[in-house]
């Protein structure tokens, strides 16, 4: 049977990396964004929706006939409190509410390491920081990610929805700096992890880290492994190419000192 997956924020960085990687013969990707989306490739089974995840009518229509939602949309960095509240927190409520009303059984939420950005790297220990370490946000952005994890938990407990919160480390083609040698999630591993989130038979509610199998790992791999995620990449192969730098005291690195509420 054909499966339909709605991806919010599909024109963003991670959405763009995942779009070709989540293609399956028996799958339609419904891609939603307020930004323009590249037109379908030949033989690409996609549906493009231009609209805002903060609009309940847009989301109600977008969730129709959908099997799962991959909610990547929202501000991906620090912004004003008003914007963060409206787009990230209220917007995620709108997404979850539309999914619930449409009977969508599974929602995967893009959380972030910044929900726990004030966790100390030195506390990681040999097993790494647990994925469900209580929030210690480093920014308004981090607060919004902690809040959406709580919203996801509520929608699981009240409505039985499967909700997986992925505390994404740093997902780019290659690690940007020394800090990312610990937190990098390669695009291919990102696809492996989101695929595991989509295919696990009964995940319930859980929080997992979204990172590759990095030599300098500070995040526990166990919770994502329980989902069936087997990362294959390691940021270490880029280490020699990166400018020298020190590991930060806190997981959130520069976010922990960036001014609050100022877009960066
Ligand atoms: C994030 O949550 C951001 O969305 C991304 O732009 C990076 O800054 C990443 O964290 C990171 O910590 O490297």
Predicted confidence (pLDDT) per residue in 12-52, tens digit: 999 999 999 999 999 999 999 999 999 999 999 999 999 99
CATH code of 93's domain: 3.40.50.720
Question: Does 155 qualify as catalytic in the annotation?
Answer: no
Q: Which residue has the tokens 């480093």?
A: 138
| Contact present, 134 and 178 (Cβ < 8 Å) | no
CB within 8 Å of 184: residues ≥ 6 apart? 169, 170, 171, 172, 174, 175, 211, 212, 214, 233, 235
Question: What's the CA-to-centroid distance between 104 and ligand 1, angstroms?
Answer: 28
Cβ < 6 Å from ligand 1: which residues?
A: 76-77, 112-114, 168, 170, 180, 183
Q: For residues 195 and 243, what is the distance between their CA atoms, to the nearest angstrom?
A: 33
Q: For residues 2 and 8, what is the distance between their CA atoms, to the nearest angstrom?
A: 19
* 207 located within any domain: yes
* 197 located within any domain: yes
pLDDT tens figures, 124-140? 988 999 999 999 999 99
Domain total for the chain? Answer: 1
**Closest residue CA from atom 12 of ligand 1:** 170
* 137 located within any domain: yes
Tell me which of 141, 155, 229, 250 is the catalytic residue.
Answer: 141
Atom of ligand 1 nearest to the CA of 252: 12
* 262 located within any domain: no
Q: pLDDT at residue 264 above 90? A: no
Q: Is 36 exposed, middle or buried (0-12, 13-18, 19+ CB in 10 A)?
A: exposed
ipTM of the complex: 0.99
Host domain of residue 42: 3-256
């Amino acid at each position: 049977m054909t499966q339909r997956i709605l991806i919010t924020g599909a024109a963003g960085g991670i959405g763009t990396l995942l779009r070709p990687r989540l293609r399956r013969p028996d799958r339609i990707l419904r891609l939603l964004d307020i930004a323009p989306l590249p037109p379908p490739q030949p033989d690409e089974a996609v549906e493009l929706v231009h609209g805002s995840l903060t609009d309940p009518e847009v989301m109600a229509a977008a969730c129709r006939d959908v099997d799962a939602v991959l909610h990547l949309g929202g501000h991906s960095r620090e912004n004003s409190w008003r914007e963060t509240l409206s787009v990230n927190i209220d917007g995620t409520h709108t997404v979850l509410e539309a999914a619930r009303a449409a009977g969508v059984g599974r929602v995967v939420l893009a959380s972030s390491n910044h929900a726990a950005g004030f966790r100390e790297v030195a506390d990681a220990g040999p097993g790494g920081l647990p994925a469900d370490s209580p929030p210690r946000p480093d920014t308004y952005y981090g607060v919004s990610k902690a809040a959406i994890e709580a919203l996801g938990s509520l929608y699981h407990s009240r409505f039985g929805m499967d909700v997986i919160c992925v505390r994404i480390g740093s997902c780019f083609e290659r690690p940007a700096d020394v800090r990312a040698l610990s937190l990098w999630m390669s695009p291919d591993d990102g696809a492996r992890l989101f695929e595991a989130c989509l295919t696990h038979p009964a995940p319930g509610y859980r929080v997992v880290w979204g990172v590759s199998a990095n030599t300098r790992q500070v995040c526990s791999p166990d919770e994502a492994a329980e989902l069936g995620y087997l990362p294959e990449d390691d940021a270490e192969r880029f280490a020699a190419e990166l400018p020298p730098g020190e590991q930060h005291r806190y997981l959130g690195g520069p976010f922990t000192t960036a001014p609050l509420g100022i877009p960066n």
